[in-house]
Amino acid sequence: MKEETCPAIALAVPSLNQGKFLRSCLDSILAQQGVRFKIALMDGGSTDETRKIIAEYSPRLAYWRSRPDNGQAAAINEGIAALGACDYVGWLNSDDILLPDALRKMAKLLADRPQAGAVYAQGLIIDEDGRKQADYPTQVFNKARFAKNCFICQPATLIRKTAWDAVGGLDVEFHMCMDYDLWWRLLAQGTLEYLAEYTACSRDYATTKTRTAQLANVREAQKLLHRHCGQVPANWILEEVVWQWKEKKEKKHGRPNIMEKLALVVEFALVYAKRRSLGERGYLP
């Protein structure tokens, strides 16, 4: 395929003090073939070696900036807007990587299925050193199951630009679940198509935002699910209670006894009943 006829893709790379992983991330994008792509590196004012890496890669970046910003979602929106016209958009967090031929495979599926607002593929979970830990628990799309678990591996996704524009990009209100919220909003613009091929690796390690702010993550998920589905599945409420309980136990540095475990069950039942009652009356945010 001639370069001028290849799909054009805009990719934002949000980053903050991720110099340890940034080269691997950028190299995985630059190695992609069969598509035209532009990269916007959105650094939030890193104090590690990131600026040195930016200088090294700047000839191959369509846009970059390094300064404090308003968070990950705002940075991604800014980066994609800066890259201008294209067919498809996406973002790759600076600690994640694309697998070979990922963009071409996902772009082809979107080209073949014009009803699709986005495509999501299979992903691998890797550790801090890039070693495979597990397959990401991706599955064929089912709305009811999706309400209970965000099974979409974000780095293994690509979005049609017209669908992205129609929903206004990421909602900057969300700092943890901005991708989960986006998938729900994109459903109004078309289908979310599943590609049963591995296209990306999601890095999981002790200091990731997902690991260090579990309670905030769960509460954001509850908020967006109530907004998009009208109710929150019980498993999300149980997770909130569990993480609250774990935070309390960490402060006490003790092991739970049988009475504390029983109290956890009772607390879940009470919280669930209260949330359900409030939801039915339209009081939940």
- Of 62-76, 179-193, 229-243, which range is least confident? 229-243
Instruction: Specify whether 104 is located in the same domain as 185.
Output: yes
Instruction: Specify whether 25 is located in the same domain as 120.
Output: yes
Instruction: Specify whether 149 is located in the same domain as 223.
Output: no
Instruction: Specify whether 76 is located in the same domain as 166.
Output: yes
Domain boundary among 192, 211, 230: 211
What pLDDT is stored for residue 266 in this prediction?
Answer: 56
The CATH code of the domain that includes 43 is 3.90.550.10
Average pLDDT, the chain: 89
Instruction: Specify whether 185 is located in the same domain as 235.
Output: no
Give the residue numbers spanning the domain of 60: 3-211
Calpha distance 18→93 (Å, rounded): 9
- Of 157-161, 168-172, 281-285, which range is least confident? 281-285
Instruction: Specify whether 147 is located in the same domain as 264.
Output: no
Domain boundary among 211, 230, 265: 211
Mean pLDDT on 217-238: 92
Work out the burial of residue 185: count CB atoms within 10 Å of its CB; fewer than 13 is exposed, 13-18 middle, 19 or more buried.
Answer: buried
Domain boundary among 189, 211, 233: 211
What pLDDT is stored for residue 278 in this prediction?
Answer: 42
Tell me the per-residue pLDDT of 4-20, one tens digit each, with 9 for 90 and over.
Answer: 668 899 999 999 999 99
